Amino acid sequence: MTVSRYDRDPLINGARSFGSAQTVVIIRDAVRRGQISLKEKIMSESERLDVIAGQQYQDASLWWVIAAASNIGWGLQVPAGTKISIPTNISEILELIA
């Protein structure tokens, strides 16, 4: 199942929901409260969030979930040595933003 951060954007998704910036806030708050199962990873040279998302979720477009959980902004390529938090169960994310 593909989950786009734009699914929650009222201008893109038929005005049924709130904007994508709020989705990021929801994920970040859930991480702080320990509501999301995570694994941590130290980024190596030339690694990208979309590649990691593809490996973890079989869907590279979910890179933004890792970015939100890691509180790092929207860059696909993160500097080597950066610690990221990878949600291990995408259904936990879906429940939060549904």
Q: Which pLDDT tens digit goes with each residue over 40-53?
A: 999 999 899 999 99
**CA dihedral sign, ordered 17, 18, 23, 26:** negative
Average pLDDT of the residues of the chain: 82
| Count of beta carbons in the 10 Å neighbourhood of residue 7 | 15
Quick check: 18 pLDDT over 70? no
Highest mean pLDDT among 3-7, 46-50, 93-97: 46-50
| Band of pLDDT at residue 3, cut at 50, 70 and 90 | low
User: Which three-class secondary structure state does DSSP give residue 84?
Assistant: strand
- Pairing of β 83-87 and β 38-42: antiparallel
Residue with tokens 């690694």: 47
8 Å CB contact between 72 and 84: yes
What is the 8-class DSSP label of residue 7?
G
User: Which three-class secondary structure state does DSSP give residue 95?
Assistant: helix
